[in-house]
Amino acid sequence: MPSRTQFRPKGVFVGLATVDVLYTVESVPRRNQKISVPGQQISAGGPATNAAVTFAFLGGHANLVTAVGSHPLAAAIREDLDGHAVRLHDLARRRQEMPPISSIMVVRESGERTVVSANAAVFSKAGADFNPHWLRRASIVLVDGHYMPLCVAAAREARQRGIPVVMDSGSWKKGMAALLPLVDVVICSDDYRPPGCRDTGDVLEFLRARGIRQIAITRGAKPVRFVDGGERGSIAVKKIRACDTLGAGDIFHGAFCYYACQPGISFRNALTSAARVASFSCRFAGTRAWMKMRKPETRD
C-alpha cells in the first residue's frame, strides 16, 4: 500500500457555496448602531466548500458539487476555489441570480461569530442532477445537507459504488430522514437535534438506531464525543486563545475526510488529527489565513 506521503485521495464534497464577507469587530453592534472596522475579508464559504478547500490544502484532490451561477459576484467563489486547487462542478452555471452571501462579524476578544446568510434559498431549485462520473476514483464523499435532493442523489450513487459517505450537519434539515440511510459517518455539531432528541446522548442513540456505526459530535472547545461500532470515547481539543471560530467545524470535516482516507488510520485517529487542524485554524481570522502559517501534511 502507498505511504501517507504518497497517497493523495480524491474527495467529492456536495453542498453549499457562499460569498463570505467577514468583519472583525470589538463587539456586535446594537440595534440602529453603525460601526466602522479597519478591514474586511472576502472568500468562498459554506460547509462543503470550506471542507473541500481544507482537503485540497492537506494534499487531497478536492471536487466541489454545488450551485454558484454566472452572476458577477460568483467570480469571488470561483477565484477562491481556483486558488486553492478545488475543482468546481456548478449546477447553476447558466443562472443569473446573485449567489448566497454571508455577512459575518467576528468579535476580536472572544473569536465568537455572528452570521447572516441566505444559504441554499437562492438556488433552492438547483436540482439533483448529480453526475456519477464525478465519483470516478473517489475515496470519500461528504454531504452537508444543503441542496438536499442533490445530497441524497450523491450519497445514493456513492453507496452503490461502495464509497464512504460522510454527513456534516449543524442542524436537522428537511429531507434528512431520506439522507441518513445512505450515510456511513455522521459528524455533527452539539446543536444537531433530530426529532425527539434532547441531548447528545439522545442524538447518538438516534443515529445508531439508523445503522450509522461511526458518529462524532463536535462541541467547540469541549472534547469531541464519538462512537465507532461498539467503542465509545472522547477526544480532547487543544486549548488555545481563539481569534476566530468561523468555519472551524467545516475545516474539521475536511481534515477528517483527508485523514480518514489515509491507509491504516483509525476513526479515532482521523478525528484526533482533524481536531488539531481545526484548533490551529481558530488562531487566525477567517477560514484561509491559517493555511499560510501551517505546512500541508502531504505534498508531492
Percent of the chain whose pLDDT exceeds 90: 69
Ranking 56-65, 101-110, 162-171, 213-222 by mean pLDDT, the lowest is 101-110
Query: Is it the case that residue 140 has pLDDT exceeding 50?
Result: yes
Residue 166, pLDDT score: 98
Tell me what the mean pLDDT of segment 113-122 comes to: 81
**pLDDT-based confidence at residue 27 (cuts at 50, 70, 90):** confident
Give the pLDDT band of residue 182 (cuts 50, 70, 90): very high
Q: What is the pLDDT of residue 296?
A: 63
CA–CA dist 234, 201 (Å, integer): 13
Cβ neighbours for 269, distance < 8 A, ≥ 6 positions apart: 259
- Residue 257, SS3? helix
Output the CA torsion sign for 107, 247, 279, 57. Answer: negative
Instruction: Give the closest residue to 143 by CA, choosing from 15, 33, 276, 288.
Output: 15
pLDDT of residue 127: 67
pLDDT band at 223, cuts 50/70/90? very high
Question: Distance between CA 245 and CA 104 in Å, rounded?
Answer: 11
Residues 82 and 35: beta-carbon distance below 8 Å: no
Go through 42-72 and write b for each residue having 16 or more CB atoms within 10 A of its CB, e for each that does not.
bbbbbbbbbbbbbbbbbbbbbbbbbbbbebe
Q: Is 59 left (phi over 0), alpha (psi -120 to 50) or beta?
A: left
What per-residue confidence (pLDDT) applies to 106? 81
User: Which ranges of 68-147 does DSSP label H, i.e. alpha helix?
Assistant: 74-83
Give me 116's grid cell: 447572516
Instruction: Report the mean per-residue pLDDT for the chain.
Output: 90
Question: In the predicted model, is pLDDT for residue 119 greater than 90?
Answer: no
| Segment 175-192 mean pLDDT | 96
Is the per-residue pLDDT at 191 higher than 50? yes
Helices (H) and strands (E) in the chain, counts: 8, 13
Is the pLDDT at 138 greater than 90? The verdict is yes
Q: Is the dihedral of CA 56, 189, 177, 15 positive or negative?
A: negative
Q: Is pLDDT of 297 > 80?
A: no
% of the chain surpassing 70 pLDDT: 95
Can you give the pLDDT at residue 153? Answer: 96
Mean of pLDDT values over 211-226:
94
One-letter amino acid at 236 equals A
Question: Which pLDDT belongs to residue 1?
Answer: 29
| pLDDT surpasses 80 at 260 | yes
State the pLDDT confidence band at 132, using cuts at 50, 70 and 90: very high
pLDDT of residue 110: 74
CATH of region 14-293: 3.40.1190.20
How long a stretch of residues is the chain? 300
The DSSP output letter for 67 is -
Q: Determine the pLDDT at residue 128.
A: 75
Cα 260 from Cα 174, distance rounded (Å): 28
